[in-house]
Structure 1
């Protein structure tokens, strides 16, 4: 039986042709895509005002045939919704929320309330599946195949990563995190991120100069968000600009040094071509240069 998903636009406005291509891409995988007749009602750079976007989220969860709620894109806007969500309505028909980037704010709130969430490609990215077969389109297809597998149920996935410095022993903990600048923006608010004990914190970003990434990480460190983290795993930092020849990993290691937390990099997660999905809150195990997740 094909999967049925509902599209939502909780963040920024998306051109209609990009949405249509994303829908066609998902349908090419055998997914049944549901969406309201009017998916967006543009408000400035947002897909709609707060009430509009909230109504979409609630309606998608209440559709009895929908098996997952998939965000069209990120951008900005998810944090505006979190404190106004009727969490009891969502818990009545729990189903995973899928997305990344700005969705980071909601993924963590879902997890805190025991609701399923998947950090993975946004729906509009499925438009790339309509391109002629190539190495890049095959990578994207594999990532969507993994996402669909996670929707269906527990799935074991293995991810490569590289320890910075000496190879530590086995580490195990829940996977949390997401977009670095988004997480930092939540500090000092009711949505403030705090990694649970032993957590493997995944961080990624796009288009930020290194000094802004350092500032965002410093904010998380000083806010105590990473005090109990077991490790920090860096995904991709697509288009992020260096100031000199200092590698980003070295800057992050220096900022994390007071915490004594283990640092890894090279995780294929982020805004670039490599954006493999992972179930938010699932238990991950790091041994050597491999992260294994069953969840």
Structure 2
């Protein structure tokens, strides 16, 4: 792994962890896969993808795990600028073909990148494509027991006075839950719910490149509705609906999840053989 500099700005730096493919034959490498982490666009870091999954991805991809700016210190428009910078940096690497992968909020960003840039394929784990779903105005179903903790008192201590690109879930996850609890998650990100810039339209979905989608059937944080709609309307899609009530079910590395990642890579490979 090599740490690379994607962009240096006055108030922030975007770094990436770059993993070269382990494919024996260079012709077996499909391209560069950009990975974007989850965290509600409020927390998380580029290093959150377990090494076991990275090794599976490296069999067919060069892998770039990238930083992006986080809210509320930055807005969604700032993050979209980061996506542009990440994409253009990826095009300077060894392979011309660019793939995108994201989990949860990273899945959202991956879908936006696939809409706006020349992306060969998408691997989307429990992502979403708009902020207008009614569930997003409330706490995730499995976190309602924390409601009494989610007061204004947690806001100031958890917001930085600088631009930040990585935040540990403990305690920043509480800040994300606070915004969900008061129904102002989208507003905090600077998202205009009426503006197509911040969502996929039906026409956008129909124009997506091949996409692998995995989502928990009873996901308490991001409704499985989003992945089911992608499965129904995207032109080339493989959807695995996992029988679980856990949002980030792949955080635990086990035999089933390893097979799921292998299936994702096989699906992408099959589109080009």
TM-score higher than 0.5? no
Structure (1/2) with the larger strand percentage: 1
Normalised by the length of structure 2, the TM-score is 0.36
